[in-house]
Structure 1
Amino acid sequence: MSANPFSTMFDMQRTYIEASQSAFESSLKLQQVASDAFLGSFDSTKSLQKRGVDLTKRATLANLDAVEETLPADVVADLRAAVDEQYEALDEAHDDAWEAFERSAEDAVDSYDELTEAQAEMVDELYESLLQVNAEAAEVAEEAADAVEQ
């Protein structure tokens, strides 16, 4: 029995389908890594912003120190109390905003992951169907080649 002249073509198609599926899976993994990196960047950004707020508070208090000698003691004390109160409120608002932002981002990434997982399942089924069609076509071609030889 001679080799089916179409077998190489079907082998190439199968190889292309498998390589395409592998590339798609790698793409999904890369997207997951990017999502994880995005979520992981929040802590450092939040910390950096907190440090900026703290520096601003210290600068404000340093300004009060600079003018303390020129103002009555009770006025300086009231100003310090107001600065502390305002920055405490700012810290709380900052923490609340970041918590809400992180929750929202995590929810968005979770939804994206669910959508990607569903897409991956559908694409896997598609690739399996393509491989099945390829195998069936190769079998039909083999049978046709055998029939022609006889």
Structure 2
Amino acid sequence: MIVLRASEKIEVAVGDEKHREGEVLDLLEASYLAYTGRAMIIDENNKPLDLKQVFMKYASGNLWWILFTVFTDLASRGRRIRKGFGERDIVVEHEGKKYMVYVTEEGAEIPVITLLTWIESSQHKDMIPVIAVVDMYGDVTYYQATSMSLRKISYP
């Protein structure tokens, strides 16, 4: 079992073939490893921490829960995942393709300009833009996003 020490950062204290000792892990990956039982997270005094304690210590805002929900869903489908470039992004690799996943909650208002900018950014990074919407039950629905252009037309 992997042992993760949570102090200022979350780092591997006892590793395995994939995670080296001293490696710093992102909150999502560390939480997923603990959630699946592959890792135990301890504090500076070697006291075990549960996921709630880890989130309370390291997560800022309510966004981490929906990010964790999407991360867990994608990992359970066998996708390779890592934290993205923005606070709502997750980068996914599957079958030689890269996806930039924008994570949001059902009912959240997102300005159109935010989505268009994010879609363009994803495409400039040669990634397929996908929007993940988490509903109140924790179910995730994925939508592939594409950019479009709206042209002004004149009526006779």
TM range (shorter): under 0.3
Question: TM-score, normalised to structure 2's length?
Answer: 0.20
Larger radius of gyration: 1
Which structure has greater strand proportion?
Answer: 2
- Which gives a bigger RCO, structure 1 or 2 (Cα 8 Å, sep 6+)? 1
